[in-house]
Amino acid sequence: MAEGKDIKKALDDIVDRKYTFMHICGTHEAAIAKSGLRSILPDDLKIVMGPGCPVCITPQGEIDAAIEMAEKGCIVATYGDLMRVPGTKGSLDSIDGDVRVVQGVHKAVEIAEKTDKEVVFISVGFETTAPTVAAALLTNPPENFSIVCCHRFVPPAMKYLLEQGEAQIDGFMLPGHVCVVAGYEDYEKFRVPQVVAGFEADDILLGLYMLVKQVKEGRAEVENAYPRAVSREGNKKAMEMMYRVFESHDVDWRGFPVIPDSGLKLKPEFEKYDALKKFNVEIRHVEKHSACICDKVLRGVADPTDCRLFGKACTPQKPVGPCMVSHEGACKIWALYNQKR
């Protein structure tokens, strides 16, 4: 397969009916929007975003727990994207407590090393960030450091989407960054066309072409269109480190019910770093009440522009839902790059 316009022509030639593919990565959505790819795809080829933004899928109950930590006098440290995500009592940037933006867990540990106060890191992300947090905990951070573990795995959410069948997906473009760390062996159990794709426009076009080809040929397997970064086994050392510290558990995602084995929690030997236990804070399930349809956007059954608040009551400057907050959120990306179907 050659590049650029050759792939585009091959895609035009091969699309013979309606196809819908889902990617599960905010970086893919941003790349599609920035490059204007949707405007040049064949009309019958639709690519939707699934639950690929780790900030967006963090439920309100976890934001509320982070706020409670700050209210109890802890220094709360987390990524900038999480600051404006609304919980039921506001967002981290709207409260009086000591809440600090950090680039990663190591910066939160540095804060703890320089203070006697308790420092709580709100630890979100998929398989991409969890190993870095595990690495930090394996270096024996100070006793005044702990985390709220909000990590989640991608494959169980895919399993849920496939079992539900709500989004009528013909195949999945697998998340390149996640697969760099986790590999793609775990996805081979799903009997659906899947392609691991990179983040250049040509990578995404090639991924889409390979997905259509699989469907047409009646195959349902995992193909790797991103071999320059991704291998089947991934980064084994990183995954081993992650499983030394964490174990899977059942957890809900924003827009999803409880998905079995889809989250990470600290193993008993690392419980001293569990901020929920240390400060006796519970994560409560919160029912959705607003007109925000992030839940549907995250399940790939609605576009951001289907939301009646999009661009009106909800903008990147005044976000109502998490998908308008995060730079990996579909609503923010569609608003910034004027995406439409």
Report if residue 275 touches ligand SF4, rule: CB under 6 A: no
Residue of 121, 172, 253, 310 interacting with ligand SF4 (CB under 6 A): 310
Helix axes 4-14 and 201-216, enclosed angle (nearest 10): 30
Q: To the nearest whole angstrom, how small is the minimum distance from the Cβ of residue 214 to ligand SF4?
A: 31
Q: Which two tokens stand for residue 289?
A: 């009440």
Sheet holding 75-78, edge to edge: 99-101, 75-78, 119-125, 145-151
Q: To the nearest whole angstrom, how small is the minimum distance from the Cβ of residue 306 to ligand SF4?
A: 8
Report if residue 63 touches ligand SF4, rule: CB under 6 A: no
Written as one string, the DSSP assignment of 175-236 is: EHHHHHHH-SGGGGGS-S-EEEE-SSHHHHHHHHHHHHHHHHTT---EEES-TTT--SS--H
Report if residue 52 touches ligand SF4, rule: CB under 6 A: no
Report if residue 83 touches ligand SF4, rule: CB under 6 A: no
Residues 339, 37: contact at Cβ < 8 Å? Answer: no
Stretch that binds ligand SF4, among 3-11, 240-248, 268-276, 321-329 (CB under 6 A): 321-329
Stretch that binds ligand SF4, among 8-16, 88-96, 199-207, 315-323 (CB under 6 A): 315-323
Query: What number of residues does the chain have?
Result: 341
CA pair distance 114, 25, nearest whole angstrom: 36
List CB contacts of 70: < 8 A, sequence separation 6 or more: 76, 92, 95, 97, 98, 99
Going by their DSSP bridges, the two strands 258-266 and 246-252 should be labelled as antiparallel
Q: Which two tokens stand for residue 139?
A: 């270096």
Report if residue 55 touches ligand SF4, rule: CB under 6 A: no
Residue of 109, 241, 297, 333 interacting with ligand SF4 (CB under 6 A): 297
Report if residue 320 touches ligand SF4, rule: CB under 6 A: yes
Question: Closest CB to ligand SF4 among 184 and 334?
Answer: 334
Q: To the nearest whole angstrom, how small is the minimum distance from the Cβ of residue 296 to ligand SF4?
A: 8
Question: Closest CB to ligand SF4 among 88 and 237?
Answer: 88
Question: Closest CB to ligand SF4 among 171 and 319?
Answer: 319
Report if residue 309 touches ligand SF4, rule: CB under 6 A: yes
CA pair distance 27, 327, nearest whole angstrom: 9
Question: Closest CB to ligand SF4 among 280 and 338?
Answer: 338
CA pair distance 19, 17, nearest whole angstrom: 6
* C-alpha torsion 125→129→130→136, nearest 10: -130
Q: How many residues bind ligand SF4 (CB under 6 A)?
A: 14
Question: Closest CB to ligand SF4 among 144 and 305?
Answer: 305
Residue of 304, 326, 328, 333 interacting with ligand SF4 (CB under 6 A): 304
Question: Closest CB to ligand SF4 among 28 and 332?
Answer: 332
Stretch that binds ligand SF4, among 63-71, 121-129, 165-173, 316-324 (CB under 6 A): 316-324
Q: To the nearest whole angstrom, how small is the minimum distance from the Cβ of residue 186 to ligand SF4?
A: 30
Q: To the nearest whole angstrom, how small is the minimum distance from the Cβ of residue 19 to ligand SF4?
A: 25
Question: Closest CB to ligand SF4 among 88 and 143?
Answer: 88
| Secondary structure string (H, E, C) spanning 237-266 | HHHHHHHHHEEEEEEECCCCCEEEEEEEEE
Going by their DSSP bridges, the two strands 119-125 and 99-101 should be labelled as unpaired
Q: Which two tokens stand for residue 140?
A: 């024996």
- What is the identity of the amino acid at 42? P
Q: To the nearest whole angstrom, how small is the minimum distance from the Cβ of residue 300 to ligand SF4?
A: 13
Q: To the nearest whole angstrom, how small is the minimum distance from the Cβ of residue 222 to ligand SF4?
A: 31
Residues that bind ligand SF4 (CB under 6 A): 292-294, 297, 304, 307, 309-310, 314, 320-321, 323-324, 331
